[in-house]
């Protein structure tokens, strides 16, 4: 399996992991280890008086992993730029998962604000990975604006519905000159394998692993699926035959009755 | 004096950002702070005075996807 390069950093794992929704920090840590991931997403929240201190960072091997803080909670490009500066300070990285989804019902990214923020943040030196609609035109525009990768969605966040945007993801992958990371909606290892077989550069998975009966075991299953899908893509998948008629795999020499 | 911590009024005797961070028992890692919408790097907390009515944005790392 070829290594993946984003903004000059090499990744031997093509599975990125979100750290939300785990039942405990310990389960999260076990899942990170089992997944073999080299990049994890994180979020930020406002500090309130009397907040209990959560030691979640102690459960993330942040020396060896690339941290990818997100901007979840921002409503527009201006807020995203401010959040990015806070994230850079808090996490000590200029890598950023840009996500601007003002509508809490579907959490769908606002394409106009995402494009605006990508342009501004790339100019400020951030490595911007925007979570975006599976819109091939938008993905080209994000690339031109300086995105280090694009992260189109398969289905709304946390729905586990798989690659509902399949055809558009294919067009995005065909046209992209930056890595394409399928983010959101991946609910089963088979979905991840499918994305990788299509030629996606990587998958970002969170809910499907975090809320599984055994998160670490599920993380291991996703690791295999992502590797299998990628290896199949690199091996060159055979074309699908349109007709339903069989194409024989064995020679049809009639040696029994002739 | 009164300052605003993430839009909530807060009474404090802290003269600097660094004193306020102690009052709030902020974690050592994964924190960022801005005064009046301008990021203050941690290295400058001790030299950054607070003023009456200062609007502080303070965030910390949490899990998220």
Tokens 């502080």, residue located: B56
CA pair distance A144, B49, nearest whole angstrom: 42
CATH fold label, A4-257:
TIM Barrel (3.20.20)
Return the pLDDT at A258. Answer: 60
| The 3-state secondary structure of B23-63, one letter per residue | HCCCCCCCEEEEECCEECCHHHHHHCECCCCCEEEEEEEEE
Contacts of A53 in chain B (CB under 8 A): 25, 27
CA pair distance A33, A25, nearest whole angstrom: 12
A97 is annotated as an active-site residue? yes
User: Are A82 and B34 within 8 A, CB to CB?
Assistant: yes
Q: Which of A124, A54, A89 is nearest to B33 (CA)?
A: A89
- Check residue A73 and give left, alpha or beta (phi > 0: left; psi -120 to 50: alpha): left
CA pair distance B21, B56, nearest whole angstrom: 11
A99: closest chain B residue by CA: B65
B28 vs A217: which has the higher pLDDT: A217
Which residues make beta-bridge pairs with B56?
B5, B35
CA pair distance A45, B59, nearest whole angstrom: 5
Return the pLDDT at B41. Answer: 95
A67 neighbors A40 (Cβ within 8 angstroms) = yes
Q: Is residue A82 packed enough to be buried (19+ CB in 10 Å), middle (13-18) or exposed (0-12)?
A: middle
CA pair distance B64, A158, nearest whole angstrom: 12
Name the minimum distance, in Å, from the CA of B5 to any CA of chain A. Answer: 8
Residues (pLDDT < 50) of chain A are none
User: Are A42 and B64 within 8 A, CB to CB?
Assistant: yes
Q: How many helices (H) and strands (E) does chain A have?
A: 8, 10
CA pair distance A69, A85, nearest whole angstrom: 11
- Domain B2-60: give its CATH code: 3.10.20.30
Helix H or strand E segment including B5: strand B2-5
Return the pLDDT at A178. Answer: 98
CA pair distance A83, A171, nearest whole angstrom: 31
User: pLDDT by residue (tens digit) across B37-46?
Assistant: 999 999 999 9
CA pair distance A93, A108, nearest whole angstrom: 26
Return the pLDDT at A247. Answer: 86
Q: The whole model's pTM is what?
A: 0.92
Which residues make beta-bridge pairs with A183?
A153, A204
Please report, for chain B, the start and end positions of each structural domain, with discontinuous segments joined by +.
2-60
């Amino acid at each position: 399996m070829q290594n993946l390069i984003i903004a000059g950093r090499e990744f031997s794992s093509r599975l990125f992991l979100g750290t939300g929704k785990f039942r405990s920090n310990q389960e999260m840590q076990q899942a990170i280890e089992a997944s073999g991931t080299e990049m994890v997403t994180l979020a930020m929240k406002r500090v309130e008086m009397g907040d209990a201190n959560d030691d979640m960072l102690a459960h993330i091997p942040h020396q060896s992993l690339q941290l990818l803080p997100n901007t979840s909670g921002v409503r527009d490009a201006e807020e995203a730029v401010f959040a990015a500066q806070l994230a850079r300070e808090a996490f000590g990285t200029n890598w950023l998962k840009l996500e601007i989804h003002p509508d809490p019902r579907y959490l769908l990214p606002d394409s106009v604000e995402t494009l605006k923020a990508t342009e501004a943040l790339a100019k400020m030196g951030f490595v911007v990975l925007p979570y975006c609609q599976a819109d091939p035109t938008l993905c080209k525009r994000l690339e031109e604006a300086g995105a280090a990768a694009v992260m189109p969605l398969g289905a709304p966040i946390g729905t586990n519905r798989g690659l509902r945007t399949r055809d558009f993801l294919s067009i995005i992958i065909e046209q992209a000159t930056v890595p394409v990371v399928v983010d959101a909606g991946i609910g089963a290892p088979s979905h991840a394998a499918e994305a990788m077989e299509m030629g996606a550069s990587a998958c970002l998975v969170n809910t499907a692993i975090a809320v599984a009966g055994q998160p670490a075991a599920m993380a291991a299953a996703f690791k295999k699926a992502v590797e299998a899908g990628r290896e199949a893509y690199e091996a060159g998948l055979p074309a699908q035959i349109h007709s339903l008629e069989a194409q024989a795999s064995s020679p049809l020499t009639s040696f029994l009755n002739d | 004096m009164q300052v605003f911590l993430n839009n909530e009024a807060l009474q404090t005797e802290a003269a600097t950002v660094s004193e306020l961070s102690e009052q709030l028992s902020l974690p050592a890692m994964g924190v960022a702070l801005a005064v009046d919408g301008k990021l203050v790097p941690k290295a400058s907390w001790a030299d950054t005075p607070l003023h009456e009515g200062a609007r502080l944005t303070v965030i910390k790392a949490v899990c998220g996807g």
